[in-house]
Amino acid sequence: MRGLVEGRALVTSLSLEELRRRLETEACPAAIVVDGDEVDATDLVEAAGGAAVLVIGAADAPAGLVEPWTDVAPADVPVEEVALRLARVLKGRQQRLELARTTDTLAHTSHQLERFVYTASHDLKEPLRAITGFSRLLVTRHADQLEDQARTYLDFVTDGAERLGRMINALQTFSVLSRHEVSTAEVSLSSVVEELLVDLDTDGVELTIGDLPTVRSDRTLVTEVVRVLLDNALRYRADGSQDGSPHEVTVEARSAPESWTLDVIDSGIGVAPNDHERIFDMFARLHTREAYAGQGIGLAVARMAAGRLGGRIEVDSGLGEGSTFRVTVPVVA
């Protein structure tokens, strides 16, 4: 057997303690083949680091050998079968290493993208302020020298610059929250909703706030999730129902042993089932800006913030049937 795995594996019947010492002082082999009657295989997997593990002759199948880079074989297995099993766990180990490298690359790319979004959005604000400011100066100080068509063009420039400014602010919010260091504290959902409603338009809305609990979570992220959902529920109103009833928005929440859930329910325009996922995409818009203001970023920010809390956002809605947005977040100690 030693000839089959020479240079690729360490064949040993050492005790676990001796094996640990060897792994600490020598380069970790690609694979370790051990006698299952002499070494606890589950402990060995923990001690083996990045090595593949093949256990031969264990009295019972070890509970910890479930990963593709681990395997167990009976004591009387032919040497050819050992070679095949060893090749299989080595392949599993290689896939594990490739997955780890891919994960590291994605994490690095994501970090660089977050830095780019934050820096770009910050640097774009200065020239944007100049465009907006000088356009307004032309209109206010030289209005008598401008033709009607020129003033209309300047209004387009100013409106476009202001919309771009709002999009940049939303991108900055996304970037800041994606880099936000999550902390845990007592968060009163009632106070969060109460504070948010001060700055939201509730005219003509029949608003119902249930008995909202206090939860342990990150207040910044929770506030952003609730802000987006409340803002959308209040904004996307139907043109008017046949019976003349007001637009209704209800906020409910409940706690369970393993999670807490918050529902924001509205009687508005609703969302078609085939758009339930699309509305969470960045810059996704289902309506014109003339019909409903917004940048198409809010729900993407809310889903990202909920994800950073370990939670999720789901929508239950139909076109013209109102919507229920449900946030579920696991309980933390």
| % of the chain with per-residue pLDDT over 90 | 30
Where is 54: in which H helix or E strand?
strand 52-56
CB 230 within 8 A of CB 265: no
pLDDT at 145: 84
Question: 69: number of CA atoms within 13 Å, CB side?
Answer: 21
* Distances in whole angstroms, Cα of residue 306 to Cα of each of 9, 113, 179: 45, 20, 14
What six digits make up the tokens of 13?
């019947």
Q: What mean pLDDT is reported for the chain? A: 80
Phi-psi region of 156 (alpha: psi -120 to 50; beta: other; left: phi over 0): alpha
Rounded to two decimals, the pTM is 0.61
pLDDT at 7: 43
Cβ-proximal residues to 1 (8 Å cutoff; 6+ apart), any chain: 11, 33, 79, 82
Highest mean pLDDT among 22-31, 177-186, 202-211: 202-211
Q: Band of the pLDDT at 2, cuts 50, 70, 90?
A: very low
Query: 134 pLDDT exceeds 80?
Result: yes
- What is the amino acid identity at position 284? A
CB 268 within 8 A of CB 247: yes
Residues 202 and 2: their CA atoms lie apart, in Å, by 77
Q: Band of the pLDDT at 168, cuts 50, 70, 90?
A: confident
Q: Band of the pLDDT at 57, cuts 50, 70, 90?
A: low
pLDDT at 1: 38
pLDDT of 67-115, one tens digit each? Answer: 766 777 766 777 677 778 778 777 877 887 788 888 888 777 767 777 7
- What is the amino acid identity at position 31? A
End-to-end CA distance of the chain: 51
Residues 144 and 132: their CA atoms lie apart, in Å, by 19
What six digits make up the tokens of 125?
């604000």
pLDDT at 122: 73
Query: 237 pLDDT exceeds 90?
Result: no
Of 121-125, 164-168, 213-217, 251-255, which range is least confident?
121-125
pLDDT of 258-313, one tens digit each? Answer: 999 999 999 999 999 999 999 998 877 777 766 777 677 889 999 999 999 999 99
* Interval 249-253 mean pLDDT: 95
Query: 8 pLDDT exceeds 50?
Result: no
CB 97 within 8 A of CB 31: no
- Of 152, 120, 121, nearest to 135 by C-alpha is 152
What DSSP assignment string belongs to 222-260?
A: HHHHHHHHHHHHHHS--S--TT-PPEEEEEEEEE-SSEE
- What is the amino acid identity at position 263? D
Residues 230 and 195: their CA atoms lie apart, in Å, by 12
CB 268 within 8 A of CB 312: no
pLDDT at 243: 55
pLDDT at 3: 37
| Neighbour count for residue 225 (Cβ, 10 Å) | 30
Given the DSSP bridges, would you call strands 247-255 and 205-209 parallel, antiparallel or unpaired?
Answer: parallel
